[in-house]
Structure 1
Amino acid sequence: MPNIDYYFATISPFTYLAGPEFERIAKKHGATVTYKPLDIMALFGRTGGLPPKDRHPNRQEYRLQDMRRRAIVSGLPFTQQPAFWPTNMAPSSYAIIAAQNAGGDVGSLVNALTRSVWADDKNIAEDDVIRACLEETGFDPALADSGLLEGAETYARNLEEAVAKGVFGAPFFISDKDERFWGQDRLDDLDRHLSGEF
C-alpha cells in the first residue's frame, strides 16, 4: 500500500483547490496519507520564496488569475479575496494533528477548514470555526482544545522535516519512493506515478 506525505497549509488556496481531487486519487490507489500541516509563510522564508504580499506585482496579478482559473476547473466555490486571509494557521493545524492522532477522515477535515477560508469567509483561527469543522467531519469538537503542546511540537517538526525533504510550497506531495509533486496542478502526475507510469 503506497503512502503519501502531504505537506500543506490551512490558508493555502491551492491546498483548498487540491483537496477533493487529491482525496479521490489517494482512495483510488488505496494510498495512506500522512497529513503534515505547516507554517507556509515560514516555509517561504526558509526556502527562498516570498509571501504573496511581498512578491512582484506581476506575480501577484498572475496568482489571482491562476487561482480564478483553477477554481473554475475544480468546480469548487471560491472567494478570490477572502475576508480572513491571511490568518493564524496554528490553531487549525493543531486540530488536524489531534484529529489524525484520534483517527478518522482527516482529509474531510482539511477540506472543511480550507473551504471555510476560501468559500465561506470564516476565520479558521477562531475556536468556534474549528469546532464546527471538526463536528461536521465526524470528530469530537473538543479536539480543538486537546493536545496543544503535542500539536505545537508536531507543527514545528513538520516545517523542519519539510525543509529537509525539499518542500518549498503547498500543497506538496511526497510518495514513499521520494517522488515529489508541488501544486494542485500536478495531481494528474501524482495519479500517474501511483499507477506506475513514472
Structure 2
Amino acid sequence: MANIDYYLGTISPFCYLAGTRLERIAEKHGATVTYKPLDLLQLFDRTGGVRPAERHPSRLQYRAQELPRWAEHLNMPFHFKPAHWPVNMAPSSYAIIAAQQASASGGGGDLGGLVHGFTRAVWAEERDISEDAVIRDILVAHRFDAGLADSGLFVGAETYGRNLEQAVEAGAFGAPFYVVPETGQRFWGQDRLDFLDRHLATAG
C-alpha cells in the first residue's frame, strides 16, 4: 500500500483549491495519506522561495489572475483578499496534528475534510483560523473532539517543527506538496494531482 506525505500550509490558497481531490485519489488506489502541516513561510525561506509580501509585482499580478481563474475553473467560492489573511498557522496546524493522532488511535473523524475545512474557512468563509473558537468549531464539524484544540500542544509544536525539517529533506519547497516516499516521486501544486493519480496507478 502506497503512502502519500502531504506537506501543507493551512493558509495556503492553493491547498484550498486542492479541495479533497487528494483523498479521493488515495481512496481510489488504496493509499494512505500522512498530513504534515508546517510553517510555509519558513519553508520558503529555507528553500530559496520568496514570501508573498516580498515578491516582484509581476509575480503578484499574475497571482491575482491565477487564483480567481482556478477558483472559477474548479467552481469553488473564493475571496482573493480574505478578511483574515495571513494569520498564525500554528494553532490550526496543531489541531490537525492532534486530530491525526486521534485518528490513529481510533478516535478520529474526517481528517481530509478537517484539513480542507481550515483552508476553506480562510478563503471561502473569511474566518480567522488562529482563533480558538473557530478551530473548535471546525474540529466538531468534522467529527473530532473540540478538546483537541488544547490537548497535546507540546507534541503539536514539536511535530510542526519536525514537519518543516522533513519537508526540506524530502525536497519540498511549497504547498501543496505531495511526496510518495516508496518511489521518491514528488508533485508540487494542486494542478499536479492528476499526475499523482497516474503515478499511483502505475506504481502499484
TM-score class, shorter: over 0.9
The CA deviation at 1:106 is: 1.1
How far did 1:24 drift? 1.3
Take 2:172 and 2:96, find their aligned partners in 1: how far apart are those partners?
20
Instruction: Give the equivalent residue in structure 2 for 1:171.
Output: 176
RMSD: 1.1
Deviation at 1:26, TM superposition (A): 1.3
Look up the SS of the partner of 1:42 in the other structure.
helix
Query: Which portions of structure 1, spanning 4 or more consecutive aligned residues, are displaced by more than 6 angstroms?
Result: none
Aligned to 1:193: 199
Q: Determine if the alignment matches structure 1 residue 137 to structure 2 residue 138.
A: no
Which of 122, 129, 147 is equivalent to 1:124? Answer: 129
**Alignment match, 1:79:** 79
Residue deviations 1:31-73 (CA, integer Å, cap 9, x gap): 1000000000000000001111100000001111111111112
Distance 1:79 1:71 in 2: 9
The residue correspondences of 1:51-90 to structure 2 (distance < 5 A) are: 51-90=51-90
- From 144, 148, 153, the counterpart of 1:148: 153
Query: Match for 1:160: what amino acid?
Result: E
Shift of 1:190: 0.5
Q: What TM-score, normalized to structure 1?
A: 0.97
Gaps (5+ residues) in structure 2? Answer: none
Give 3-state SS (helix, strand or coil) of 1:86's partner.
coil
Superimposed CA distance per residue, residues 160-186 of structure 1 (whole angstroms, 9 cap, x where no aligned partner):
110111100000000131100000010
Query: In structure 1, what residue type is equivalent to 2:45?
Result: G
Residue number in structure 1 paired with 2:3:
3
Letter in 2 for 1:49: G
Gaps of 5+ in 1: none
Code of the residue aligned with 1:193 in structure 2: it is H
Alpha-carbon deviation of 1:19?
2.5
- Whether contact under 8 Å (1:99, 1:143) holds in the other structure is yes
Identity of aligned residues (%): 62
Letter in 1 for 2:38: L
Relative to the length of structure 2, the TM-score reads 0.95
